[in-house]
């Protein structure tokens, strides 16, 4: 049975916009010594700005952006939403015959019998597209039209201001091991990591590889201490479900994320995690 004091703790958390799905999770927060973060939408805003559009010449730049936007018109990923935003015009969705979001890769769309691929270098490789990887500060979104490489859109995300508060707070609480798992490029991940002081980074991971990385960390710990994973639920619902404690950003996050998680942070402020841990500590003092 759950001691009554936990209900007070859960109530206190909920008044602070933190939904804790059970007293056991509040109690477990006391034993967290490792925090694993997703990057996009968790530490960064998930609102990407277009920095550069490069066309191979197959299509003009305007058409390239238009096709990319068509390719993303049904996407759930923040990258897709940002490209749609940058295009800024109405998409004639009736022309779209097929849409598929390939988690951790990108999208495949059929528009008036023509195929558009929009996504990572991994997507291009997977589809056998001949292309050139670019090395630039930002995330490159590659576009192929009818299986021919058409160019890329270079986009860039911003840190959430609140993310530094979160890291500071965790340092103050003495939680030392901070890890980032991301599907994005290594260079982007490292730049976000160095701004925040997260040095242990695993990048270019597919959703199932994020789970494997988490399991690797668990094995290392040999049952000592708990791991909390904080994500936004886009392409990380499997890790959220797998972690000792899965915490999801409920603001932008998907219903699947909220379902898969043990703790939901109801707005876009990841530093609320600090409050949750403090409430857990107080609750333990009252209960025991």
Three-state SS string over 151-163 comes to: EEEEEECCECHHH
The answer to the question of residue 40 lying near Mg ion (CB under 5 A) is yes
Helix (H) / strand (E) containing 202:
strand 200-202
Between CA 116 and CA 126, with CA 122 as vertex, the angle to 5 degrees is 70
Nearer to ligand ADP by Cβ, of 106 and 169: the residue is: 106
Nearer to ligand ADP by Cβ, of 83 and 263: the residue is: 83
- From the list 214, 251, 264, 256, the residue with the least C-alpha distance to 235 is 256
Q: What is the DSSP letter of 31?
A: G
Cα–Cα dist 94/10, whole Å: 47
Enter the tokens of residue 60.
């003009």
- 3-class DSSP state of 8: helix
| Cβ atoms < 10 Å from Cβ of 16 | 14
- From the list 135, 154, 132, the residue with the least C-alpha distance to 54 is 154
Q: In the set 73, 82, 182, 283, which binds ligand ADP (CB under 6 A)?
A: 182
Q: Could you tell me how many residues of this chain bind ligand ADP (CB under 6 A)?
A: 24
Q: In the set 105, 131, 152, 229, which binds ligand ADP (CB under 6 A)?
A: 105
Enter the tokens of residue 250.
């409920």
Q: In the set 12, 23, 41, 270, which binds Mg ion (CB under 5 A)?
A: 41
Cα–Cα dist 116/90, whole Å: 18
Q: Quickly tell me which residue has 């999801």 as its tokens.
A: 248
The answer to the question of residue 234 lying near ligand ADP (CB under 6 A) is yes
33, 38, 184, 255: the catalytic one is: 38
Catalytic annotation present for 156: no
For residues 245 and 32, the answer to whether their CB atoms sit within 8 Å is yes
Name the minimum Å distance from CB 231 to Mg ion.
6
- The partner in contact with residue 249, picked from Mg ion, ligand ADP, none with C-beta cut-offs of 5 to 8 angstroms by kind, is none
Three-state SS string over 47-91 comes to: CCEEEEEEECCCCCHHHHHHHHHHHCCCCCCHHHHHHHHHHCCCC
Q: In the set 80, 151, 169, 250, which binds ligand ADP (CB under 6 A)?
A: 80
Name the minimum Å distance from CB 118 to ligand ADP.
5
For residues 179 and 33, the answer to whether their CB atoms sit within 8 Å is no
Q: In the set 12, 23, 106, 246, which binds ligand ADP (CB under 6 A)?
A: 106
| Contacts with Mg ion, 221-260, as mask; x by CB under 5 A | -----------x-x--------------------------
- The partner in contact with residue 9, picked from Mg ion, ligand ADP, none with C-beta cut-offs of 5 to 8 angstroms by kind, is none
The answer to the question of residue 253 lying near ligand ADP (CB under 6 A) is no
Q: Quickly tell me which residue has 């270019």 as its tokens.
A: 204
| Contacts with Mg ion, 176-215, as mask; x by CB under 5 A | ----------------------------------------
| Interface positions with ligand ADP (CB under 6 A) | 38-41, 72, 75, 77, 79-80, 101, 104-107, 118-120, 139, 141, 182-184, 234-235
Give catalytic residue positions. Answer: 38
| Interface positions with Mg ion (CB under 5 A) | 38, 40-41, 232, 234
């Amino acid at each position: 049975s759950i001691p009554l004091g936990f209900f007070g703790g859960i109530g206190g958390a909920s008044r602070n916009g933190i939904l804790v799905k059970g007293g056991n999770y509040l109690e477990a927060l006391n034993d967290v010594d490792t925090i694993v973060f997703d990057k996009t939408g968790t530490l960064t805003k998930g609102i990407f700005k277009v920095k550069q559009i490069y066309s191979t010449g197959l299509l003009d730049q305007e058409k390239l952006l238009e096709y990319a936007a068509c390719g993303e018109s049904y996407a759930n990923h923040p990258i897709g939403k940002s490209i749609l935003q940058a295009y800024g015009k109405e998409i004639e969705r009736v022309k779209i015959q097929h849409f598929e979001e390939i988690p951790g890769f990108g999208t495949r769309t059929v528009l008036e019998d023509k195929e558009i691929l929009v996504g990572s270098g991994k997507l291009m490789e997977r589809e056998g597209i001949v292309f050139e990887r670019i090395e630039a500060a930002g995330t490159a979104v590659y576009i192929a039209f009818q299986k021919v490489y058409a160019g890329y859109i270079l986009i860039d995300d911003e840190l959430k201001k609140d993310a530094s508060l979160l890291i500071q707070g965790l340092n103050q609480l003495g939680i030392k091991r901070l890890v980032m798992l991301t599907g994005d490029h290594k260079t982007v991940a490292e730049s976000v990591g160095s701004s925040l002081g997260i040095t242990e980074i695993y990048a270019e991971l597919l959703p199932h590889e994020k789970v494997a990385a988490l399991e690797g960390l668990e094995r290392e710990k040999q049952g000592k201490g708990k791991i909390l994973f904080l994500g936004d639920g886009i392409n990380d619902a499997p890790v959220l479900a797998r972690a000792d404690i899965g915490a999801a950003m409920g603001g932008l996050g998907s219903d699947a994320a909220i379902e898969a998680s043990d703790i939901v942070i109801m707005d876009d402020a990841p530093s609320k995690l600090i409050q949750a841990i403090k409430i857990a500590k107080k609750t333990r003092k009252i209960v025991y």
